[in-house]
Amino acid sequence: MLVVPEGAEVGALKNLLFPTDFKPDYEKLSLKVLKYLLGKPDVMLHVLHAYTEADGEPERQKGRAQLQELLGGYTWEMTETAEGDIVRAINSFARDTPIQLLLLVRNTHTFLENLMLTPVIDQIGWHSQIPFLVIPPARV
């Protein structure tokens, strides 16, 4: 799903921002659109990671390795931040680097998680002036 907020400036894609916590199994995600965009000339992917204590978990380390392997051959860089709030981290990064498209992975949540947590996509959707593309959750 592609969302273009009212008033967003739309132009040539140069800088894409992909915030991640390394939770997804990147081998199971449908990343055809991301790979297509990264195959265009002069497109740079900025991977933004807000590190936490959970980064030491084997699943997170596996996710990091999968993503790095997947992005091999494309133009990209990773930025690590201590900012705990990912929405603030995204906004801070976007102030310093002009971002034309934000790429977000839609995580699946249980009913209880949906009641207790506001998903990042919802937070961004209400406050972003940057167009964003939502990547569907991993296939099981």
Over residues 90-111, mean pLDDT:
78
- Domain assignment present for residue 53? The answer is no
Q: Which residues of 44-56 are buried (b: 16+ CB within 10 A; e: fewer)?
A: ebbbbbbeeeeee
| Paired tokens of 54 | 């959970």
15 found inside a domain = no
In a domain, 12, yes or no: no
11/131 Cα distance (integer angstroms): 10
CB neighbours of 73 closer than 8 A, spacing ≥ 6?
none
**Domain count for the chain:** 1
Give the pairing type, strands 132-135 and 2-3: antiparallel
Q: What is the pTM of this model?
A: 0.80
Q: Which two tokens stand for residue 104?
A: 């977000």
The answer to the question of residue 140 being in a domain is no
Residue 69 structural domain: 20-42+58-135
Check whether 10 has a pLDDT greater than 90: no
Candidate ranges 12-21, 24-33, 88-97, 131-140; pick with highest mean pLDDT = 12-21
Q: Is residue 11 part of a domain?
A: no
Q: Stretch 29-51: mean pLDDT, rounded?
A: 91
